[in-house]
Amino acid sequence: MKEHIFNIQSSADFTKVALAIFKHQFKNNKVYRSFCDLLYIHPSDVKNVEEIPFLPIQFFKSRKVIASLDQVQEIFTSSGTTGSITSKHFVTDIEFYNQSYLKGFAHFYGDIQEYVVLALLPNYLERKGSSLVFMVDDLIKQTNHSESGFYLNNLSELAQKLEELDQKGQKVLLIGVSFALLDLIESKQFNLKNTTVMETGGMKGRRKELIREELHQILKKGFGVDQIHSEYGMTELLSQGYSKGNGIFETPPWMKILTRDTEDALTIQQIGKTGGINVIDLANYNSCSFIATQDLGKVHQNNTFEIIGRFDNSDIRGCNLMVL
């Protein structure tokens, strides 16, 4: 199945693989099967991807969402405040994740070995089970550059390394959470020519939340770059979307974004309308590939998308049949 998933060439290929995975998960994922049964939806009724039921993402907090009897190799967990219930993603074949992030990065940015990767992810490094740290740690290893690495709170060392590499003409990927990138440019202003600055979102309670346009404007000025790149991923997914600027994201060929009606969670909307973000991530073969997230966004004609905000808990309706 990996071969089929990671060699999708057309929308017809995508539909064929997605429908096959839907049948597989309907049969083998007890939680997803129960959800589909409550909706009275069977694979024999489904002819296109828009008709596939999307499992509310909250199920990853209350159920073991898994479509395989194989031994669990990794458990990725979401961040959360003390005492809150976190999501758990049980991964029985980590090679799906390895291939997804490596092929996804290559699809958008080229050969990872051309880069030095500098990672500023303090809040993720301070806890176990982060799928983001797992990915970035492997990207760092794949670069084969001794300068690649994680930086926790040593901002002065990072600033010096960043300037040295950039001035040498070395391609650099600086990937970090929003609050840490802001901390860095408050300690020093840059004028970078060979560095891609990528934020992974999140103030995580460390700073006041900023709208994306404001955040990116501050970061562009502080780093001296034309665009701020972004990564769209989450614990419950094994694939990522990337934005090369202006908050417009693209997905790799095995991932697709749809939006659902905010008043009727089972209705998929036309392109261009704001709604709840539904993700098809075919790399999630052994868990669930069809997920209704708590993000609000919009899909554009060329299959790019943007994230506009988040649902309030009070606004999530119509798709929570089994969450409690």
The confidence score (pLDDT) of residue 1 equals: 92
CA distance linking residue 16 with residue 34, whole number of Å: 23
- Residue-by-residue pLDDT tens, the chain, 324 positions: 999 999 999 999 999 999 999 999 999 999 999 999 999 999 999 999 999 999 999 999 999 999 999 999 999 998 765 557 889 999 999 999 999 999 999 999 999 999 999 999 987 888 889 999 999 999 999 999 999 999 988 899 999 999 999 999 999 999 999 999 999 999 999 999 999 999 998 766 666 777 889 999 999 999 999 999 999 999 999 999 999 999 999 999 999 999 999 999 989 999 999 999 999 999 999 999 999 999 999 999 888 999 998 886 544 433 334 333
277-280 contacts at long range (C-beta below 8 A, 24 or more positions apart): 277/305, 277/307, 278/54, 279/237, 279/255, 280/18, 280/49, 280/52, 280/255, 280/256
> 242: closest CA among 43, 103, 140, 80?
103
β-strands 115-120, 171-176 pairing: parallel
The confidence score (pLDDT) of residue 324 equals: 31
**37 — phi, psi (to 5°)?**
-65, -40
The confidence score (pLDDT) of residue 290 equals: 98
List the alpha helices (DSSP H) in the chain: 2-5, 11-28, 30-38, 59-62, 94-109, 122-125, 131-143, 155-167, 178-187, 212-223
β-strands 88-91, 74-77 pairing: antiparallel
The confidence score (pLDDT) of residue 52 equals: 97
CA distance linking residue 232 with residue 201, whole number of Å: 8
**Cβ-Cβ contacts under 8 Å for 136 (sequence gap 6 or more):** 117, 119, 121, 150, 175
